[in-house]
A = this chain, B = another copy of it.
Amino acid sequence: MLDRPATRSRKETRAAVMEGLLRSKGAFRQAIAHDSRLTEASVSRILTELRSAGLIDESRIPAPYFGGPTALVSLRKDICVAGIELSNGRLSFGVGDLGCALDYVERMPVPARLAQADFERMARVSFAEMIAWADQRGRVIRQIALSLPGFSQSDTNPIFPWDMTRLRDFLADLVKPYPLALTNSVIAQAAFHRYCASDVYPVSGDHLFLFVAHGVAGVVVHESAPIETFNPFELGHMVIERGGALCRCGHRGCLEAYTSLQAISPVIGLPAGDILRGGDQFVATAQQTPEQRATLRDRLFLLGMGIGNALNLQPLPAVVISGWPSLIPEADRCAILDGLNETLLGGYRADRLPLHFIAPSIGNDPRAAMAYAAYSFVSTGGQDAAPRLSEIA
């Protein structure tokens, strides 16, 4: 849109360069200049700043061609971020570097309806342990991120009906003096896919990302937009069957009442908590009765309807689905396409709407939150989070 990019503040430019490095996991100056829309002269200035701030590494490598570049610029591996994640029945704490390494992790099972007071109690203990671990090793946590299912700026969380003011106060007190970013689980997953698992992610352009688990959460991924601007939404509470099945939200006919883990648990014949645990193995549909398989297909059809309705409001060229549908054999999974075909304006056509299934990122927690922390850190240009220990040195 911008004919000539408007000048940015130094912080914004640093953030742009660092964000590019986070995405690419190391780049030559030419590529940096291109990605961040700067001249190489400006890149040089910015890198000089980042170098003296101890934020980048310049590893000498043999030149790729005659006279070519020899310094591969990357974010320093010893920059440390932490993630806290509440998802899929677990509360997880983790510490690692900007490259998604997980050097410390603690995971605890929590009930599906975790009370705010219980969360606070657990968080207080585990957070202290995590900080103690980092302090013992002299590792300075530069940014912390907490991801919550259902979180949004509007502070009305359908998953965890907590008092958000109280939560913010609690967290501010808890993490002080560390900078904290609060975000939605789906956005954190988007950050994970963008910054940590970008090489295995099936789509590169704009798309709809859906996570089907206890709820049906979605986010519109705009490739060029900053992750923090993404609008997460709960597709699960779209009413697709007037007067239909009772949902935990009190309404009837919500998508979630048909397609959440709880709803399909009896159909698949596994406890809700175990369905995703199996890793990226296919759910064994062979042992299901034809009736059960038909039911499963109908549920997937409804999911397709919900996706189609969502895409009618927000047309997008691709869809990525994570969660239990990814574990279903394709023969059954394609019921989603039928649902899409009956709702998506103009009908579903595989060539116009690529549909990708990726393994539910269970067992990765809290790496999604850590990826968001890494993003938050680079977004500040590495300036807000003062390295407290190194100040002493």
Binding site for B on A (CB under 8 A): 4, 6-9, 12, 152, 154, 156, 158, 218, 231, 233-235, 237-242, 249-252, 305, 308-310, 312-315, 342-343, 345-347
Contact = CB atoms under 8 A, between A and B. Distances in A.
A239 B345 CA distance: 10
Contacts of A314: 231, 233, 313
Contact of A239 (B12, B218, B233, B308): B308
Count chain B CB atoms within 10 A of each CB in A8, A9, A218 and give the residue with the most: A9
Given A7-B6, A9-B6, A343 B251 contact: yes
Nearest to A5: B9
Contact of A342 (B239, B310, B343): B239
A337 to B, nearest CB: 15
A154 B315 contact: yes
A237 B305 contact: no
23 contacts: A6-B6, A6-B9, A7-B7, A152-B315, A154-B315, A156-B345, A156-B346, A158-B346, A234-B345, A235-B312, A235-B313, A237-B312, A237-B345, A238-B309, A238-B343, A239-B308, A239-B342, A241-B242, A242-B342, A251-B345, A309-B309, A310-B313, A313-B314
A252 B313 contact: no
A251 B6 contact: no
A218 B312 CA distance: 11
B233 A309 contact: no
Contacts of A251: 342-343, 345
Nearest to A8: B6
Nearest to A308: B239
A315 B156 CA distance: 9
Chief secondary structure at chain A's binding surface: loop
A305 B242 contact: yes
Contacts of A347: 250
A182 B305 CA distance: 31
B239 A343 contact: yes
B6 A312 contact: no
Given A249-B345, A252-B342, A342-B252, A242 B239 contact: no
Nearest to A251: B342
A242 B304 CA distance: 12
Contact of A12 (B6, B9, B309, B346): B6
A309 B239 contact: yes
A289 to B, nearest CB: 24
A308 B237 CA distance: 10
Given A156-B315, A240-B242, 4 more contacts: A235-B313, A237-B345, A251-B342, A313-B314
A351 to B, nearest CB: 14
A124 to B, nearest CB: 30
Nearest to A238: B309
Contacts of A249: 345-346
Contacts of A4: 9
Contacts of A343: 237-239, 251
A165 to B, nearest CB: 17
Contacts of A152: 315
Contacts of A235: 312-313
User: 10 closest pairs, A vs B, by CB?
Assistant: A239-B343, A233-B313, A237-B345, A7-B7, A238-B309, A154-B315, A237-B312, A158-B345, A6-B8, A6-B9
A134 B234 CA distance: 52
Nearest to A305: B239
A249 B342 CA distance: 10
